Structure 1
Amino acid sequence: MKEKNFLIAGSILSADLLNLERDVKEALDVGVDVIHFDVMDYHFVPNMTFGPAFLKAMRKKFPNAVFDVHLMVTPVTENIVDDYAKAGASWISFHPEACVHTERMLTHIQEMGIKAGIALNPSTPPQMLRYLWDKLDFVLVMTVNPGFGGQSTIPATLTKVSDIKAMAKAENRDILIEVDGGVKSSNIKEISSFGAEVFVVGSAFFGTADKKAALSSLHSALA
């Protein structure tokens, strides 16, 4: 069987908040590749979620899981990054608008052995990436405005995915492009055609009664 060339990241923002351990276990058991943590501070975005203590507890329960921490906080400081790194993050991304020294922070993340990423809001241009390629493991393209689950993909953001793909190719850089926002089985194939390889799926996975069938539908659409 051909090895799949994509990753599905389940966003626990859309899981049952009273039964997160159960839902994360079920996600991993059925074959979700990555567990996506949306960290919000009620300031950068109008919501609040998931401190490092929660991640630490999840890491203890699921020692082999890939935990993708998306920091939607301001300011992004080394102390915050360190807290999530120590708690068990596998990947950490943050928004350049929330960090004074973006290159330094990416370097700091990589020096801890964690994949480092930049998250781009729908209106954030990707041109800044040309100065950061050697510090980037992945780019997270927000295809909705951050803060809440269940939104529909903003079509114009998909062009940004293809722009980043072309920019990386021109610089001979092999980085992952992750998309977050409105991803579901009916549009994941189209989104992948723009160059995305990691797909954050929230309500289209955790909001379903049969998670195995939901993941199979996503896989089939990408096959």
Structure 2
Amino acid sequence: MLAAGADLVSFHPETTRRAHECVSRIHEAGAQAGYALSPAVGLAAAEPMMGELDMLVLMTVEPGFGGQQLIEGVIPKVAAASQLIAKQELDMRLQVDGGVTLATARRLADAGADTFVAGSAWFGAEDYAANRQKLLDAING
């Protein structure tokens, strides 16, 4: 991914025993690094690395395929992550990935998310530009 020009690479920390090394290599390549946590993985998995990360990605659906509904139980995790980032005064983004729709975007923003992955919600409409604006309006209240 880095060789292809990616400027931010996120990975699931449970996929490696060398998370520090992965983050270091991503940074050495001139890119930003992020952790992606599946719904069942607690914030504790990211805490030791928080100061080194540029983004924390919280999966709000089970990874694997698009079009899933938001797992409501992840919203408190988003809020807790936002509070942790603020408490530690970290300069990092909090991204949510999955189940982001016109109906869920505002609640995720209110919980503290500042970056949103909205594949099916965005591309499922015929007018991408209009749907993009609707999503932005939902996020911004």
Q: Which residue of 2 aligns with 1:218?
A: 135
Which residue of 1 is the match for residue 10 of structure 2? 93
- Give the unaligned 5+ runs of structure 2: none
Please, which of 190, 194, 200 is the counterpart of residue 107 of structure 2?
190
Q: Tell me which amino acid in the other structure corresponds to 1:195.
A: G
Report how many residues are paired: 140
The normalised TM-score by structure 1 is 0.61
CA distance in 2, matches of 1:99, 1:177: 22
- The one-character-per-residue Cα deviations of 1:177-219 (angstroms, maximum 9, x if unpaired) are 0000110112101110000000000111111111011001011
Query: Are residue 154 (structure 1) and residue 66 (structure 2) matched?
Result: no
Sequence identity of aligned pairs in percent? Answer: 35
Map Cα deviations across residues 125-169 of structure 1 (whole Å, 9 max, x no partner).
111322112210000000000000000000111111111111122
Q: Which has the higher contact order (CA 8 A, sep 6+)?
A: 1
Aligned to 1:171: 88
Counterpart AA for 1:137? D
Matches of 2:136 and 2:67, distance apart in 1: 20
One-letter code of the match for 2:88? E
Higher-Rg structure is 1
Q: Secondary structure at the match of 1:217?
A: helix
Please tell me whether residue 102 in structure 1 is matched to residue 9 in structure 2.
no
Find the aligned partners of 1:211 and 1:87 in 2 and give their Cα distance. 26
Map 1:40-55 onto structure 2 (within 5 A).
none
d(CA) in 2 for partners of 1:222, 1:203: 16
- AA aligned opposite 1:99: T
SS at match of 1:85: coil
| Cα RMSD, aligned residues only | 1.0
Do 1:89 and 1:114's aligned partners in 2 also have CA atoms closer than 8 Å?
yes
What letter is aligned with 1:160? K
2-structure distance, mates of 1:104, 1:205:
35
**Matches of 2:48 and 2:87, distance apart in 1:** 13
